Structure 1
């Protein structure tokens, strides 16, 4: 059941009165509410996506008035009856998740708007590189935007120097993806070079960052940009939540691709396509290394800002990440304790897949080495693959250590949002080093 909250904390009330009087917000919501009901009864013209997003950014999902949620629910029924644009229906499903009782990590991050695929399938559709590039370009546009009194209420807006640091790091994240897209977007090569220069610059050039991010953003079709825009529905009005959502969305794309590559490698090994499996897993090493700046980017989020909106995200937790759990389980089959832990209880679809599969890539590798027909040539190829898997495991451990450090700084001794012990839980799973499970 959705709990309606109409009282902000003291800081929120103070800022709201400074930036935009409640009466103005109420009038705006009333207008959107009436427009939605009219559209639901007589759906003429396009669905008012921009108006809906403006309301969610003005209030935060957790504080959107019940009357507006009910109007959106009526509009959704009309969309379904008319076979409206699937993106609009997905937007409404994510926007109404707290009303529906379906709120989760997946809906909080708007993942259905970014890809229809679920792990261990590849991102597909728009494509992981294009999505990653758009997510980071949009984050840069947000961070270096002109600050004026016409934008929606934002609490704890970071100082310009911190915003530019984030812009630099986001550019570092998107450059490799943009490089790979130059065949489809010839202008991307020059833009990627400018992004490298901006990331390495010693002076803050907000105008260049905004111009560059906008040019990168506009490389992509409007329909794709619209999906990325619709995927960001913050629960509150703390500015750092924009950064939080965009970085977590980027992580999920990486995890999906890691899981898909590992699944493909699992199929390649029994077919004796060891070179293909090795190439796929080397790609995983590259993906993990290219994504390292995401941790530096996320680490710029201020603990006091995170704690300001964290309470409104309860019900959504990274422990629900299907991509991460699929990658972990496909790399090496989890033991019984791990499979029955909260980590996999939080992803029932992946848990079922893992229980039915019974093995991971590490086990498949062991079977191939001990199976019939194994010769010196196969042994050398498998040894090379094994060396790459060790490298994947080591880089993955570095990821977990970095995540632990960030979580320790952000939440301290607070419990985790996925009903875990928080930092204590993360410290305990540091021991889950994959190659400790290797059969002797």
Structure 2
């Protein structure tokens, strides 16, 4: 029992011996929403001990993040980030040195392929009777095969860049999925495996929530990459590094294209199952996505009514960045155009790259809206949002202003 193991650990706390496995088994058995008060109190006591403990910072950081994540509901801190356990995944952040932008693609490739491989490995384990995790509302075999197909499509570009695709030779979707999952698993470090295991904390015991969590984590990974690349563009352009800026924009457009099959994966989720576990996610909504809002606000300054709406009030850190004058790509593009520092050819190439990225992001929004309508109808969203009516209203918000204005004046 996790309570017995935690009581034992509290008598002699050590970063090396925290009973992660026992805690995870209980959370998986009943769902985060239904964990007992006794276990919650013991976890809170464990967290209180951390201030007196010493040890390797990575281990301490992991335990702090894990305890904060499992205690988000009783702490009344439950939101989109804690639901997805994003602190445990350590995605590229808004305050990372911009010099790391060229390396973000490789980092996000690893995270995305690991997340998606884990989702598919869960489906394989269920199909083969190797796990009893999340037993409710199991989908039919036909939907699972679609998950294999679309999931591998998501993984293939990253696997190719990581040189892990040479053994993907099977033609049967299940066999191909086994090969892809095996390649990813063999390449993972112990630290990566732990992060993956600790970041799966469903609120209920419905089968499809596993898929739902992993797909949303993968989308968050994509948007953290886009934000990193956009910061790279904003830094490169004033230096006259046009090729690098265009490279970042093209890579961002490609990342959105590569993430598109995630919508096909998500579309295999059973509507009834989604609506069942969704009732226990109140307080967590995609409107709270820091990474998405950061991408939007780095492209151009949001309109005043949007800054003062629930959209940005739900992401106060990003809203503050906007209010204190965060530099946007729109502004930098106008600056380099008006100062004459770039040739007309470079302006055209840059405008084309910006338009390509904007088109990809707009298509992403529209696909998101269509899928939300399928899953929710016109129902209210979680986290006290307006659900699909909100998505409908914002799906065609201009990504940039400067590029569109330039196109009209030609």
| TM-score, length of structure 2 as denominator length | 0.90
Rounded to whole Å, the distance in 2 between the matches of 1:244 and 1:333 is 31
Residue ranges of structure 2 left out of the alignment (5+ in a row):
none
Rounded to whole Å, the distance in 1 between the matches of 2:118 and 2:267 is 18
Rounded to whole Å, the distance in 1 between the matches of 2:175 and 2:37 is 40
Which of 184, 207, 215 in structure 2 is aligned with 1:247?
Answer: 215
Q: Please state if 1:356 is matched with 2:324.
A: yes
Number of the residue aligned with 2:9: 39
Number of the residue aligned with 1:131: 111
* Shift in alpha-carbon separation, 1:304–1:276, aligned structure 2, 3 A: same
Rounded to whole Å, the distance in 2 between the matches of 1:221 and 1:125 is 18
Rounded to whole Å, the distance in 2 between the matches of 1:117 and 1:76 is 26
Paired residues of 1:37 and 1:75 also in contact (CA < 8 A) = no
Rounded to whole Å, the distance in 1 between the matches of 2:261 and 2:240 is 35
Number of the residue aligned with 2:22: 51
Number of the residue aligned with 2:344: 379
1:15-164 matched pairs, under 5 angstroms: 31-43=1-13, 46-83=17-54, 85=59, 86-115=61-90, 117-119=92-94, 121=96, 127-147=107-127, 148=129, 151-164=132-145
Q: Secondary structure, in 3 states, of the residue corresponding to 2:324?
A: helix
Paired residues of 1:134 and 1:217 also in contact (CA < 8 A) = yes
Shift of 1:416: 1.2
1:29-428 matched pairs, under 5 angstroms: 31-43=1-13, 46-83=17-54, 85=59, 86-115=61-90, 117-119=92-94, 121=96, 127-147=107-127, 148=129, 151-182=132-163, 188-191=164-167, 194=168, 201=171, 203-204=172-173, 206=174, 209-210=177-178, 212-371=180-339, 374=340, 378-428=343-393
Cα RMSD after superposing both structures: 2.1
* Shift in alpha-carbon separation, 1:83–1:103, aligned structure 2, 3 A: farther
Residue ranges of structure 1 left out of the alignment (5+ in a row):
1-30, 183-187
* Shift in alpha-carbon separation, 1:300–1:273, aligned structure 2, 3 A: same
* Shift in alpha-carbon separation, 1:220–1:411, aligned structure 2, 3 A: same
Paired residues of 1:129 and 1:177 also in contact (CA < 8 A) = yes
Q: Secondary structure, in 3 states, of the residue corresponding to 1:55?
A: helix
* Shift in alpha-carbon separation, 1:406–1:237, aligned structure 2, 3 A: same
Rounded to whole Å, the distance in 2 between the matches of 1:263 and 1:389 is 14
What is the aligned residue count? Answer: 394
Q: Secondary structure, in 3 states, of the residue corresponding to 1:94?
A: helix
| TM-score, length of structure 1 as denominator length | 0.84
Rounded to whole Å, the distance in 2 between the matches of 1:394 and 1:60 is 39
